A = this chain, B = another copy of it.
Amino acid sequence: MTKVLNSPERFSDEAVDGLVSVYADYLEKTYGGVISTRSTRPGKVAVVIGGGSGHYPAFAGWVGPGLADGAVVGNIFASPSTQQIYAVAKAVDDGAGVFMSYGNYAGDVLNFNLAEEQLSEEGIRAISVPVTDDVSSASLDERDKRRGVAGDLVVFKIAGAAAERGNDLDGVVAAAQRANAATYSFGVAFAGCTLPGADEPLFTVPEGQMGVGLGVHGEPGVAEVPLEPSADLAKRLVDRLLQERPEGASGRVAVLLNGLGGSKYEELFVLWNDVRQLLEAAELEIVRPEVGELITSLDMAGVSLTVTWLDDELEQLWLAPADTPAFRRGAAPEGRAVHRAVTEAEQQEFGQASEQSQALARRLADGLEAVAALLHDKESELGDLDAIAGDGDHGRGMTKGCDAALAAAQAAVSAGAGLASTLSAAGIAWADKAGGTSGALWGNGLRQAATALDDESEPTTEQGLAAVQAALELVTTFGKAKRHDKTLLDALIPFVEALQESVVAGDAMPKAWPAAAEVATTEAEATADLSPKIGRSRVLAERSQGHPDPGAISLAMILTVAGEHLG
């Protein structure tokens, strides 16, 4: 039961403040997470890890020489935003590119991919490798759909050591991919965890039972079975992992026995005593095992076993020195002090802008104000629509995102920013604060639109069209949905097509946009006839029949209001 907090909203942030104050010799707070105060040498590939909070020592406890240069810290069990990832990566990049890694969850994949894109636009090469070690979450055939759990540590450690010894970015990526391919985890849960501020656990395990294969955020497991003695549990874990022993694997293994928070040290040592004997009986050589709390899930009770099949190179990297708050090994690489943290405010610095463009930026801020007012007005309506077949937070997420975008746009205008910079700042803020997939797509879509504009002159009609097309392309690329999947694309694609047609026909924006917005509204309402294709169960799909998609509806509303502020 999580009992110590001031407020659920501030929990992650205050935890980071406390952490960096305890480990001031290792860590510095930066916008988006924490970075190392020490770097081993100029020109090293930077290593960035991250994910949601609630898993300490994952991820912020593993920042230091020989492991990661920075960790991105999301809210409890939630992916960090694109902007957080971008900011941490930028803070630690030293010219040789940024390697990024994280557990394979949809939100993290989306945001890390978007951050890669954003970094590459600035000429920073960034490549991320998601960790997929959890054997319970998909079959071996669908290896890339597996979740990342405690195996994160092995992949991060090996990548960190590869960067430390001087590999270039491609070399670090290759080492991480090989480490991930060699890493397998399997776990059981005895009791659920409670989110900060919640009165009830996120899930429960029936008395006398254990949940087999549960995820680290309470994702459903494979089965519930009766509790069993440590020796039997050890056999269950070891047998399952040995089933997937890769062909040609050497007999040497790195092994982690992870406690999820509520299963304590002596229990882990008792279980380890049994696991070790079974691994030795299988004629495996255990290389530097780690037994303890590595990736926790708040106060969840449970354990997981991880095996990495080592070859000579992976073994060398696994054993290389590292020195971080929560993971140390051997003689640590010598570190020199560095300072490169940035505050949230410093994230927003604007270049020169023409007076004309500043005036347009003000109009943009006014338009956003009207959109924000609209969204507040429609918040509960959109929420109700979303609740029919979703989690009912669409209205809240859109409002939060737009409020943040408005505040950022107003701040940018006050700082003298031009149109493109203001729109970009608004998009970044939207993605950073709205949360969820739609927040990430909306915010990054707006930021992407800004790349077609500038801070000098009034956009041409072609530039306006290009901006909208850029946004669409981003949403299509990263949203992984297609038309007729019952998403906002069902309004956005017809809007862009209609806008393009009018522009090609010679219409100016103030005429073309409202007409296209009308098309979008019609199409949004027509989503009532569609079935959702992505990430919904059959039950929810049936429930949504006859109701339009809330994301398409809100998009159409916003396009309509935006049209009223053009020209």
Chain A positions near chain B (C-beta within 8 angstroms): 1-7, 11-12, 14-19, 21-22, 53-54, 56-57, 61, 190-191, 196, 210, 227, 229-231, 233, 261-274, 276, 289-291, 293, 296, 298-299, 301, 303, 328
Contact = CB atoms under 8 A, between A and B. Distances in A.
Nearest to A260: B264
Given A56-B265, A264-B298, A296-B264, A272 B2 contact: no
Given A1-B190, A1-B262, A270 B6 contact: yes
B262 A14 contact: no
Given A191-B1, A230-B4, A263-B3, A18 B210 contact: no
28 contacts: A1-B190, A1-B262, A1-B301, A3-B210, A3-B267, A3-B301, A4-B230, A4-B233, A4-B263, A5-B229, A5-B270, A11-B266, A14-B230, A14-B274, A15-B265, A18-B271, A18-B291, A21-B272, A22-B269, A53-B266, A54-B266, A56-B269, A261-B264, A264-B296, A264-B298, A264-B299, A265-B293, A293-B293
The residue in A266, A267, A291 that gathers the most chain B C-beta atoms within 10 A of its C-beta is A266
A11 B229 CA distance: 11
Contact of A4 (B7, B18, B191, B303): B303
Contact of A270 (B4, B230, B268, B291): B4
Contacts of A18: 268-273, 276, 291
Contacts of A267: 2-5, 15, 196
A230 B21 contact: no
Given A4-B270, A5-B229, A22 B264 contact: no
Contacts of A270: 4-6, 11, 14-15, 18
The 4 closest A-B pairs by CB, nearest first: A18-B269, A18-B273, A56-B265, A4-B267
Given A261-B264, A264-B2, A264-B296, A19 B269 contact: yes
Contacts of A265: 15, 56-57, 61, 293, 296
A190 B1 CA distance: 8
A210 to B, nearest CB: 7
Contacts of A272: 18, 21-22
A191 B3 CA distance: 10
B269 A15 contact: yes
Interface of A is mostly: mixed
Contacts of A11: 266, 270
The residue in A56, A230, A273, A298 that gathers the most chain B C-beta atoms within 10 A of its C-beta is A273
Contact of A266 (B7, B56, B266, B301): B56
B229 A6 contact: yes
Contacts of A269: 14-19, 22, 56
A276 B263 CA distance: 29
Nearest to A263: B4
Given A2-B264, A3-B301, A21-B273, 15 more contacts: A1-B190, A3-B267, A4-B233, A4-B268, A6-B229, A7-B229, A11-B266, A14-B270, A16-B269, A19-B269, A21-B272, A22-B269, A56-B265, A57-B265, A262-B299
A291 B14 CA distance: 14
A266 B190 contact: no
Contacts of A291: 18, 22
A387 to B, nearest CB: 30
A282 to B, nearest CB: 16
The residue in A2, A5, A57, A267 that gathers the most chain B C-beta atoms within 10 A of its C-beta is A267
Contact of A17 (B1, B261, B273): B273
A22 B265 CA distance: 12
A289 B15 contact: no
A293 to B, nearest CB: 8
Nearest to A11: B270
A257 to B, nearest CB: 8
